[in-house]
Amino acid sequence: MIDNTLHFRADGTFHILQVSDPQDLPHARKAMLRMLERAYDTLQPDLVLFTGDNTLGNHLHDVWYFRVKTSRGPAATLQKMRRALAQILEPVQSRGIPFAMIYGNHDDMNDVSKDEQFALYRAYERCLAMNETDGRVDCDTYNIPILSAEGKPAWNLYMLDSAWNDAHGQFWRIKKETADWYDRTSARLRQENDDKAVPSLLFTHVPLPQTKALCRPCAPGEKGAVRDGDGWVCLDRQKAQGVLGESVGACEDDGGLFDAMCKNGDVRAVVSGHDHLNCFDGTADGMRFIQSGAASFRCYGSRIRGVREFVLHADDPAHFETRYLTYDTLCGKGFSAQVRYFLDADDMIPLRFGALGVTLLTAAAAVIAHRIRRNK
């Protein structure tokens, strides 16, 4: 691992690539891997952030397309997880790009804890240092300062744990201890910066509850409507732009984090993933919320599969730039790229079976026609 203090480029910019929900197995889908490598080579980021569900933790023992368990036990799970992570981490490592991560709800949905997985990330030289000292919060709750030419934090990235599994079940929540850690860290950074708030992006896997304020109730037949409990909602275009493909699967509780952010005034945007079909950017209650779609091809998804880029500016702490790049943008709409998408994307399974059925029927019809001609 390397020190998690980074520096702006000579031109005063810093480029971040967010990869949310890569969520795959040791035999990762090639379409996702090609998309990610194209993003690394095209965008040349200064930092890659894997923002949760970095593996499909509850299906690590599956065999290719089939959910058939080949082995069991913590040692076997850890070995499968090591191979699954290598699929997404080695391309970053080989390019010399620093990377950091947080966990999602799928990562420890097995018999290997977050702390045990932590060692797999630490084995990579380009992995940034995470939390190894503060036992009050999880190992994936930490911050990444980005220093100016003068050596002061010009920007900061908060990485916060938001989901876990234990003997009592699965939880999507910001713990109070995590919100308190943020408050303390924000105060420390302010003190180090001549009593001025350090502009920050805050990353969680699961969206905060306040993200739901970007949606409004609507009729089921309205364009963009998605079911939300017993009703229907759509993206409020006066507050946000982008795609709402499913209801926001937010944290049950934010542990006081939102109020602390409003008080401290340092967080410029809260960035999350988790909902594979959502990709939007908007402002509600004075806070900017950004959600990125899934990168995974093995799980449910849509044509918004992709990654998000952020560009920070050392001399303009009030603003940053962000854009979302889909598979089609990165890999193109050529024949080979689209065939690869068709073969790898889980939402293409019905079409693949349909194509297989047509092929088999065509072949059977050809055989029958041939036999009829021979028998004449």
Q: Which backbone phi and psi does 316 adopt, to 5 degrees?
A: -140, 70
User: What is the CATH class of 6-344?
Assistant: alpha beta
Query: For residue 373, is it left (φ>0), alpha (ψ between -120 and 50) or beta?
Result: alpha
Place of tokens 């598979």: 327
The DSSP element (H or E) to which 42 belongs, if any, is: helix 30-43
Burial grade of 79 (CB within 10 A; 0-12, 13-18, 19 or more)? middle
Mean pLDDT per 10-residue interval, the chain, length 376 residues = 86 96 91 97 98 86 58 81 94 97 90 89 95 94 92 93 84 95 97 93 98 97 94 97 97 97 97 97 97 95 96 91 98 94 84 51 52 60
The DSSP element (H or E) to which 30 belongs, if any, is: helix 30-43
The DSSP element (H or E) to which 18 belongs, if any, is: strand 13-19
Distance CA 196, CA 232 (A): 43
Max CA separation in the chain (angstroms) = 96
pLDDT for position 360: 45
Token pair of 228, please? Answer: 């939300």
Q: What angle do CA 237, 241, 247 make, to 5 degrees?
A: 80
pLDDT for position 355: 52
Q: What pTM was computed for the model?
A: 0.91
> What are the residues whose beta carbons fall under 8 Å from the beta carbon of 176, sequence distance 6 or more?
255, 256
Domain ranges of the chain: 6-344, 347-376
Token pair of 61, please? Answer: 């023992």
Token pair of 303, please? Answer: 């044509």
The CA–CA distances, whole Å, from 140 to 46, 150, 318 equal 20, 28, 27
